[in-house]
A and B are shown apart, each in its own frame.
Chain A
Amino acid sequence: MTTSSPVVIIIEDEAKLRRFVKLALEAEVCEVFEADSVKRGLIEAGTRQPDLVLLDLGLPDGDGIDFIRDLRAWSEIPIIVLSARSAEADKVAALDAGADDYLTKPFGAAELLARVRAHLRRRFRAGATGSALFEFGRIKVDLGKRLVERDGQPIHLTPIEFRLLAYLIANPDSVLTHRQLLKAVWGPSHTEDSHYVRVYMGHLRRKIEDDPTRPEHILTESGVGYRFLS
């Protein structure tokens, strides 16, 4: 981490919720700026040089997704979307537009902080890792040599499974939609065949997870996609 504290912008029209988020993040030694509209948010994002944005999708003066597109045009900083349950389509649209993660309301301080920490860590680590070696749980992956081992025993993956795993490893903690995975692994012509992802993800889980019905690394985000935890 750098010496200065990370900067977070919260864009949310409900003042009390902003207050809670600000309280929670300041306890985590973050500098928090508030915005209550898309317009205000864009100004804040342009002037504060934030390290992370928390964005409510239902804002009074516009669609949060437009904000994401705007921001992604010039910045790669992590965006976490705040949204309600049963709005999966909105979440998918936000993630496909470039958001990294989402939090379902109502959320607690613990959940919020865990996500924020993960994405800040990722942001400050980005570019630092040149290594092709990864380790999570009992699994070791050598991307260069295309080797996967569990407790030192080699695991045999198919080319697609390997590409899938490599893409997951490259994007830890973020939620990846089916469309993003299809595009990255199968190519742009397969973006509607989401059953491919589901089936191969199942295969991968069986080879990597200790208990595939209760996965610890490859988590399902119902109706949205997957999240890889190392």
Chain B
Amino acid sequence: MSNLPDSDRPDPDQLLARIQEEESRALRGKLKIFFGASAGVGKTYAMLGAARQQVLQDVDVVIGIVETHGRMETEVMADGIERLPMKEIPYRDRILEEFDLDGALARKPALILVDELAHSNVPGSRHAKRWQDVEELLAAGIDVYSTVNVQHLESLNDVVSGITGIRVWETVPDKAFDAADEVVLVDLPPDELLQRLKDGKVYLPNQAERAIRNFFRKGNLIALRELALRRTADRVDDQMLQYRREQFVAPVWQTRDSLLACVGPGEGSERIVRTAARIAGRLEVPWHAIYVETPELQRLPDAKRHGILRNLKLAQELGAQTASLSGADAIETAVKYARTHNLGKIIVGRDHLRPWRPWYRSFADRVGHAAPDLDVIQVARTEGETGPQLHAEDVVESVARDWQAYVWTAGVCGLAGAIAAPLYQVFDLANIVMLFLLAVLLVAVRFGRGPAVLASFLSVLIFDLFYVQPRFSFAVSDVQYLMTFAVMLAVGLITGQLMAGFKYQAQVATRREERVRALYEMSRSLSAALMPEQIAEIGEHFLEAELGGKAAFLLAGEDDDKLAPPLASTKGLAAVDMGIAQWAFDHGEAAGLGTDTLAGSPVLYLPLKAPMRLRGVLALEPSNADRLMAPEQRRLLDTFASLIAIALERVHYVDVAQSTTVQMESERLRNSLLAALSHDLRTPISVVVGLADSMFLTQPPPTDAQADIACSLREEALRISSQVDNLLDMARLQAGRVELNRQWQPLDEVVGSALKTMDRALADHRVKVSLDDDLPLVEIDSVLMERVFCNLLENAAKYTPGGSQVEIMASATDKTVQVRVEDNGPGLPSGKEEIIFKKFERGQTESATPGVGLGLAICRAIVEAHGGEIRAENRSQGGARFVFSLPKGVPPEIGKEELLEAGEQQP
């Protein structure tokens, strides 16, 4: 059975995902969590015990924070392990102690102990929660031991509070718990725990003693223990699955049955989120949570909207992918989202049936109707009541805001009454009613719902009081007028409601149009900007106009990832915390106000993400922080930020393009100049050499004296030619960047061709070549490198007497390939080893030896252009030595080949 059936074959994507996970895990620190059912089971003790084991194995262990609560046995365990000093944070004229994250990062131990993963940090710390600190420690490659109680797990939070009746506010998101590399369950039977409690071995804070006594009932403890054991078992089960996956025991994969949780404005949404998280956890599927903001929902009071956003955030912490969408129809939008993200199950809250609205179909029903192929799961909400409600305080608030409108309403109704008075005699009562209806309609159109309601009632009252028999009394003689009143009321209410809706729609549309216009105007202004400063000014202007806040822009340097101080501007934000800004830039995440990181800062720091890289950070201090949290505002801000980032990138590339054009232009000019010069100088030399040679071809042949002259003529012309070569080379190398034509090649080839070129100059010398056999390929420009060898060999030939030995050697070191050219001549004048590499410098001042002293300067320029170094020294045994090194780099692989058998016939 050589062929695996398809189902047994590992999925390449899965393999890749595993490899990537392993790679990222290898760099990260390892997290070990000591997990217990409740306080007092001995987690901290167990953690310290494990740490002591590590200390014995010479691991660098540091206690970041351990709360021993004065328990002697725990204190003893902590003895002898280095403790990190606590950080002192001033908070409301007190000094609070907190775990020192920066200290731990600076100390960088192999293993750090951080007790109580669920702890909430003192305000003013970098992260709101300790588990976020631990995340950063792990990311820095530090191993962490920590402890967690079962009631602190986010997804079990409501279950535990259901059991114990105590709500715990400090929680750890499940993803932080599940990401732990190891979980150790610290278990203690409830009876023993109660015994320990009785003996006073469990630390209890005094203030809440009674509540806690309540907590430590046996029934509770058993339930908590079960929860903890189950959770651990689930985790072990996961590991088993993971193991099977890694070993390809069960490579068959079902299509993923992902969940979509719909978060609404109802009270029980938190429960929907938690339930969805639990179901997703059980099913081991990814899940999404969305909130669809319909125009109707945009009218909700701010507090309620924040509640929804909080629930979305909770979902995110529980591991969901979240999105806040906007659409006219919640169901249509949700179903579309589910389809595009391939989510097969939709979780919604169960609506309460309303007896007075028998035709009303629940949200779940409507979703089911819109998407018959998707599963819909209904989740019970904790309390009743769904949908937007008008609260008394809201009404009072709106009356207080619009009192003028109500006064006007009263006036209009009064006016209607007054106009009706003279007409009373002439017209039928039914027509008088029309007048009042007109008044109600006008009020509704002008002032909206509330005043319309008032107008309806006022009109009914005035009509009744003044015009219905008996007049000047609220009594009604004829019952048919009750019908009139009812219709008047209904008309007023319905038109008021409609108008309010229309007005609101119009407002939303106007606002949206304003936003679109602002974006359009900003992008138009940005497209004209040529300098980062202009972009900053435009950005500041629009952010202030649209979001009402002061902004500043911090740009990243070209080569490093350091942020520069804010661009100078007149109206921008004055005080910027460079630390937070740099953090936001390094992590590519928003920080500061309203985020997870340093939420205490009054300024929001948004990284400016452009397609190629992060361009910098936008710091924004909003005048109204709550307003900024609304999804549409946040979206607007994000769009602004990305527009600005793209503009910054564009400006950057305009700069790059310009400098490249200038460089290319000057390069072109220089090259054509050099080419022209080279042609003009070489052509006459070529002619001279040629003509000198022609002398030998003339008939009759030249006399010896003539031949001698021709010969010298030729020699001198060739010498001038080589000087011209040197000068032109130097000009080329000196003028700006040297364009190297680098290719990977063996060094011996270059040495060989240099030796061949210098054949005549070295005719009187003995040349020895000893290159190491295992020399790697080097990435060099062969023509220029040949020049280096030629110049060094020429030098050796010129400055040593005939019969001297010249040796070329090369060997590889760790990072470089080192080449030496040595001779056993008189050596270099001492103290001049460095100066000979200067232009127009010569070892000897007398002019018996030809040359202008460019050779070595050219060598240096070429070697340095290759990223290497060149130096000269005298050998201890006499003679000069020139050493240059070339960077090794990573040579390409060349496959080995089988030898061809002699006489083998190939097809």
Which interface residue of A105, A193, A202 has the most chain B CB atoms within 10 A?
A105
Interface pair A220/B682, CB less than 8 Å apart: no
Q: Residue on A with the closest CB to B904? A: A146
Interface pair A146/B696, CB less than 8 Å apart: no
The digit string for A200-211, where 1 denotes a CB below 8 A from any CB of B, is 011000000000
Stretch binding the partner chain, chosen from B107-115, B295-303, B513-521, B749-757: B749-757
The digit string for B886-907, where 1 denotes a CB below 8 A from any CB of A, is 0000011010011111111110
Stretch binding the partner chain, chosen from B474-482, B593-601, B683-691, B836-844: B683-691
Q: Select one of B682, B721, B753 contacting A222, CB under 8 A.
A: B753
Interface pair A159/B897, CB less than 8 Å apart: yes
Instruction: Tell me, yes or no, whether A126 is within 8 Å of chain B by CB.
Output: no
Given contacts A20-B691, A106-B689, A160-B897, contact A195 B902 (CB under 8 A): no
Interface pair B899/A107, CB less than 8 Å apart: no
Q: Which residues of B lie under 8 Å from residue A16 when comparing CB positions?
A: 687, 690-691
Interface pair B902/A156, CB less than 8 Å apart: yes
Interface pair A23/B746, CB less than 8 Å apart: no
Interface pair A220/B749, CB less than 8 Å apart: yes
Interface pair A27/B718, CB less than 8 Å apart: no
With the chains together, A214 CA to B766 CA distance in Å? 13
Q: Select one of A110, A195, A214 contacting B745, CB under 8 A.
A: A195
Interface pair A214/B690, CB less than 8 Å apart: no
Which interface residue of A201, A220, A221 has the most chain B CB atoms within 10 A?
A220
Q: Could you tell me which residues of chain A, from 58 to 116, have a CB within 8 Å of some CB in chain B?
A: 58, 84-86, 88-89, 105-110
Q: Which residues of B lie under 8 Å from residue A147 when comparing CB positions?
A: 902-903
Q: Could you tell me which residues of chain B, from 399 to 418, have a CB within 8 Å of some CB in chain A?
A: none
Instruction: Tell me, yes or no, whether B225 is within 8 Å of chain A by CB.
Output: no
Q: Could you tell me which residues of chain A, from 192 to 230, have a CB within 8 Å of some CB in chain B?
A: 193-196, 198-199, 201-202, 212-215, 219-223
Q: Select one of A86, A161, A215 contacting B678, CB under 8 A.
A: A86
Which interface residue of A161, A215, A219 has the most chain B CB atoms within 10 A?
A215
Q: Which residues of A lie under 8 Å from residue B894 when comparing CB positions?
A: 195-196, 199
With the chains together, A27 CA to B891 CA distance in Å? 51
Given contacts A195-B892, A213-B751, contact A86 B744 (CB under 8 A): no
Interface pair B693/A109, CB less than 8 Å apart: yes
Instruction: Tell me, yes or no, whether B340 is within 8 Å of chain A by CB.
Output: no
Count of chain B residues with Cβ under 8 Å from any Cβ of A? Answer: 56
Instruction: Tell me, yes or no, whether B152 is within 8 Å of chain A by CB.
Output: no
Interface pair A106/B697, CB less than 8 Å apart: no
Given contacts A24-B697, A58-B679, contact A199 B691 (CB under 8 A): no
Q: Residue on B with the closest CB to A221? A: B753
Q: Which residues of A lie under 8 Å from residue B748 when comparing CB positions?
A: 202, 212-213
Q: How far is the CB of B109 from chain A (nearest CB, A)?
A: 47
Q: How far is the CB of A29 from chain B (nearest CB, A)?
A: 12
Q: Select one of B718, B744, B783 contacting A106, CB under 8 A.
A: B718
Q: Residue on B with the closest CB to A105? A: B686
Interface pair B897/A158, CB less than 8 Å apart: yes
Q: Residue on A with the closest CB to B896? A: A158
Q: How far is the CB of B747 from chain A (nearest CB, A)?
A: 10
Q: Residue on A with the closest CB to B743? A: A194
Given contacts A20-B693, A24-B693, A213-B751, contact A146 B905 (CB under 8 A): yes
Q: Which residues of A lie under 8 Å from residue B769 when comparing CB positions?
A: 213
Q: How far is the CB of B744 from chain A (nearest CB, A)?
A: 4
Q: Select one of B683, B752, B900 contacting A158, CB under 8 A.
A: B900
Q: Could you tell me which residues of chain B, from 789 to 808, have a CB within 8 Å of some CB in chain A?
A: none
The digit string for A10-43, where 1 denotes a CB below 8 A from any CB of B, is 0000101101110110010000000000000000
Instruction: Tell me, yes or no, whether A125 is within 8 Å of chain B by CB.
Output: no
Q: Select one of A19, A20, A202 contacting B746, CB under 8 A.
A: A202
Count of chain A residues with Cβ under 8 Å from any Cβ of B? Answer: 49
Interface pair B741/A223, CB less than 8 Å apart: yes
Q: Residue on A with the closest CB to B732? A: A86
Instruction: Tell me, yes or no, whether B88 is within 8 Å of chain A by CB.
Output: no
Q: Could you tell me which residues of chain A, from 165 to 202, have a CB within 8 Å of some CB in chain B?
A: 193-196, 198-199, 201-202
Q: Select one of A161, A162, A212 contacting B752, CB under 8 A.
A: A212
Q: Select one of A20, A161, A162, A220 contacting B687, CB under 8 A.
A: A20
Instruction: Tell me, yes or no, whether B728 is within 8 Å of chain A by CB.
Output: yes
With the chains together, A223 CA to B785 CA distance in Å? 10
With the chains together, A46 CA to B688 CA distance in Å? 31
With the chains together, A40 CA to B328 CA distance in Å? 80
Q: How far is the CB of A27 from chain B (nearest CB, A)?
A: 4
Q: Residue on B with the closest CB to A223? A: B783
Instruction: Tell me, yes or no, whether B717 is within 8 Å of chain A by CB.
Output: yes
Interface pair A86/B782, CB less than 8 Å apart: no
With the chains together, A89 CA to B750 CA distance in Å? 18
Q: How far is the CB of B588 from chain A (nearest CB, A)?
A: 37
Instruction: Tell me, yes or no, whether A154 is within 8 Å of chain B by CB.
Output: yes
With the chains together, A84 CA to B891 CA distance in Å? 32
Instruction: Tell me, yes or no, whether B786 is within 8 Å of chain A by CB.
Output: yes
Instruction: Tell me, yes or no, whether B725 is within 8 Å of chain A by CB.
Output: yes
With the chains together, A109 CA to B771 CA distance in Å? 36
Q: Which residues of B lie under 8 Å from residue A106 when comparing CB positions?
A: 682, 685-686, 688-690, 717-718, 721
Instruction: Tell me, yes or no, whether B777 is within 8 Å of chain A by CB.
Output: yes
With the chains together, A201 CA to B777 CA distance in Å? 13
Interface pair A145/B903, CB less than 8 Å apart: yes
Interface pair B756/A201, CB less than 8 Å apart: no
Instruction: Tell me, yes or no, whether B694 is within 8 Å of chain A by CB.
Output: yes
Q: How far is the CB of A112 from chain B (nearest CB, A)?
A: 8
Q: Which residues of B lie under 8 Å from residue A14 when comparing CB positions?
A: 683, 686-687
Q: Which residues of A lie under 8 Å from residue B898 when comparing CB positions?
A: 158-159
Instruction: Tell me, yes or no, whether B881 is within 8 Å of chain A by CB.
Output: no
Q: How far is the CB of B765 from chain A (nearest CB, A)?
A: 14
Interface pair B777/A199, CB less than 8 Å apart: yes
Instruction: Tell me, yes or no, whether A120 is within 8 Å of chain B by CB.
Output: no
Q: Which residues of B lie under 8 Å from residue A146 when comparing CB positions?
A: 900, 902-906
Q: Residue on B with the closest CB to A149? A: B902
Top 10 nearest A-B pairs (CB, nearest first) are A20-B690, A109-B693, A223-B783, A106-B686, A195-B744, A106-B689, A220-B753, A158-B897, A198-B745, A105-B686
Q: Report 11 cross-chain contacts, Cβ distance below 8 Å, ordered by A residue.
A: A21-B690, A105-B686, A106-B686, A106-B689, A109-B694, A158-B900, A194-B745, A212-B748, A219-B756, A220-B752, A220-B756
A contact residues vs B (CB 8 Å cutoff): 14, 16-17, 19-21, 23-24, 27, 58, 84-86, 88-89, 105-110, 145-147, 154, 156-162, 193-196, 198-199, 201-202, 212-215, 219-223
